[in-house]
Amino acid sequence: MLELTLQAIYTGLLSGGFYALVAVGLALIFGTMKVINLAHGELVLLAAYVAYATESKLGLNPLLALPIAMAVVVSAALLTYFLTNHIKKDRELNSLILTFGLGIILTNSLLMVFSANIYSTSTEWFFEGVVIGDTLFSMRSELLAFVVGVLSLGGLYWWLNHTWHGRAIRAVSSNLDAAKLMGMNPKQAEMWSWGVAGILATLAGCMLYTTSVIHPPIGHGLTIKAFIITVLAGMGSIPGVLVGAFLIAIIESLTATFFQSSLSELASMGIFLVVLIVLPSGLFGNKRIH
Amino acid sequence: MLKVKNLSLNFGGVKALQNVSFEVREQEVLGLVGPNGAGKTTSFNVFSGNVRPTSGEVTYDGHDILKSSMHKRVKFGIGRTFQIPQPMHELTVRENLMVSQRFGRPDKKVDQQRISEILDSVNLLHKSESDAATELALTERKALEVAKALATEPSLLMLDEVLAGLETTGKKLFMETLKKIRKQFNLSMIVIEHDIETISNLCDRIVVLNFGKVIAEGTPDETFRNPEVIRSYTGEENA
């Protein structure tokens, strides 16, 4: 029983690292622009399909797709930013419709190009098992996704705190008018946050392809998961994203282990609602990007 | 330095500013006074770029600043504080100034010695390293607001009711700080303030606004003896 519980928590932790990687881009953009990018999951999926194409068409390791995927996804993210930036009225609300529409366009483009087939990596290295302390088991790809997720969030935290572009994003997120009066061009900070969110979505997409299966409709589900984690964290809080992602993933894993895997999302939703009833601003509510 | 000519601003049917004209001279402290709703903060909002006027001209050292966005006006040398301090909450006091310098100064240089000098001038040097802006008391937040603006190296500093909410002693001490920084940093200032004693003590000249119009202009003594100014503050019968 103890071993089973530890394994479930371990699996949840590994998934949590990946969930955090998916969600953090959404949180970053919301923190800077107060825009919820409903096409975020589709951007993650776009990177996953670039990884698939690199592996299946070029015969290369899907991780080698990172530079191309980054170029594609960051361009798509910046295009989304430019379109969002053209909304003159009620940007927070109208951007929901815009990005939702862009998500549909991306999903259908992927359907057209890659069909509705389900794909997963054929590189065996990712499926090989890693055993920690004789009891805790995972696939290499899961461990890799966790490490990439945690390192990316750590890197993002460092970047936000120690670089001028990062500080500018924190300043714009903290107080837009004050930031402008300090000479900051908020559009530049916003563009940087979309670019960085694109890089994070690329990493998440490549990890998605190596750990799981992909097909066009799952982008929407990724967006919903990222949104739930972002809200649970407290809109715009980066440390909160990590905690929220671990919480959701561990609850899902424990439910799947001790009850049924079909109940896992229901359980995480239940906890999500309970947290929001007790803490309406989320776990790290009112704490902006840092 | 700052020249305002026939500035008007309408919010729907409300005429917030009506043909307002005045100028701020080199190293002068100009008081902008008037009853609530007179158009003082609205004028600041036009100068700093928060709102666009309906018509009129505002030039600063010959630049037509109305064509520039808010962050570009900072680089022309126009600094501003808000009535309610708006620090970047999660940054330390020093970081707030570092960000201001990096983005506000045209040369983008971060000069730690200069930051210490500015913090010292507003009595915040002892708070600079570890204190987050949120941990400061009201007087200190007001001082940080001024220091942030100073870090952008302005030649004109616009202070919007910077003494509001302070108790009498705090007000006097803060006024002395303002006099000190004016000399130390060779500043011109526009000061919005309700307290007549403070404004008389601090300002070289005063412009009085009422219902969006300039109703008087001159030295503090001249202005506060002006019957129309007295009427605007106290009512017809006291004039």
Q: Where are the domains of chain B?
A: 1-77+156-239, 86-153
Calculate the CA A216 to chain-centre distance. 17
Percent with pLDDT over 70 in chain A:
98
pLDDT of residue B199: 87
Class of domain B1-77+156-239: alpha beta
For the CA atoms of B225, B226, B228, B230, what is the dihedral angle to 10 degrees?
-10
Q: Are A200 and A25 in contact (CB under 8 A)?
A: yes
- Beta-strand pair B29-33/B188-192: parallel
Q: Tell me if A180 and B49 make a contact (CB, 8 A cut-off).
A: yes
Write out chain A residues lying below 8 Å of B102, CB-based: 164, 167
CA dihedral B64, B67, B72, B75 (to 10 degrees): 0
Which residues, at least 6 apart from B171, have a Cβ–Cβ distance to it below 8 Å? Answer: B163, B195, B198
Q: How confident is the model at residue B239 (pLDDT cuts 50, 70, 90)?
A: very low
Q: Are strands B2-11 and B14-24 parallel, antiparallel or unpaired?
A: antiparallel
Interface test with B, best of A182, A237, A287 (most B CBs within 10 A): A182
**A20 vs B63 pLDDT, higher one:** A20
Distances (CA, A) of B74 to B29, B107, B173: 19, 12, 27
Q: Is the CB of residue A190 less than 8 Å from the CB of residue A78?
A: no
What is the predicted pLDDT for the residue at A289?
A: 53
Give per-residue pLDDT as tens, A235-273.
767 888 999 999 999 999 999 999 988 899 899 889 889
Assess contact for A288 and A170: CB atoms under 8 A: yes
CB contact burial A98-131 (16+ within 10 A = b; e otherwise): bbeebbeebbeebeeebeeeebbbeeeebeeeee
- pLDDT single digits (tens) B30-88: 999 988 888 999 999 999 998 999 999 999 988 899 989 888 899 889 999 988 888 87
Verify whether the Cβ–Cβ distance B102 to A167 is below 8 Å.
Answer: yes
Q: What is the pLDDT of residue B236?
A: 61
C-alpha dist (Å) from residue A221 to A250, A272, B134? 18, 16, 38
Tokens for A248, please give them: 């959701």
The C-alpha angle B109, B115, B121, rounded to 5 degrees, equals 145
Of the residues B50, B69, B103, B156, the best mutation for testing chain A's interface (the one with the most A CB atoms within 10 Å of its CB) is B103
Closest Cβ opposite residue A170 in set B79, B86, B90: B90
Spell out which residues of chain B touch residue A290, defining contact as CB-CB under 8 Å.
90
Q: What pTM value is reported for the model? A: 0.84
CB atoms within 10 A of CB B67: 8
Going by pLDDT thresholds of 50, 70 and 90, the confidence category of residue B127 is: confident
Coil, helix or strand at residue A131: strand
Comparing CB atoms, the residue among A174, A177, A184 nearest residue B103 is: A184
CATH annotation of A2-278: 1.10.3470
Number of Cβ within a 10 Å radius of residue B62: 7
Of A194, A192, A164, the C-alpha closest to B103 is A164
Of B69, B86, B151, the CB nearest to A175: B86
Domain ranges of chain A: 2-278
A183 contacts in chain B (CB < 8 Å):
71, 74-75, 100, 103-105, 152
In angstroms, rounded to a whole number, what is the distance separating the alpha carbons of residues A144 and A124? 14
Hey, what amino acid is at B37? G
Whether ipTM tops 0.90, in short, is no
| Residue B1 scores a pLDDT above 70 | yes
Q: A178: which chain B residues are within 8 Å (Cβ-Cβ)?
A: 82, 86-88, 148
Phi, psi of A282, rounded to the nearest 5 degrees: 90, 175
The whole-number pLDDT of residue B235 equals 67
Confidence grade of residue B185 (pLDDT, cut at 50, 70, 90): very high
Is the pLDDT at B231 greater than 90? The verdict is no
Q: Quick one: average pLDDT of A134-160? A: 92
A168 phi/psi in degrees, rounded to 5: -65, -40
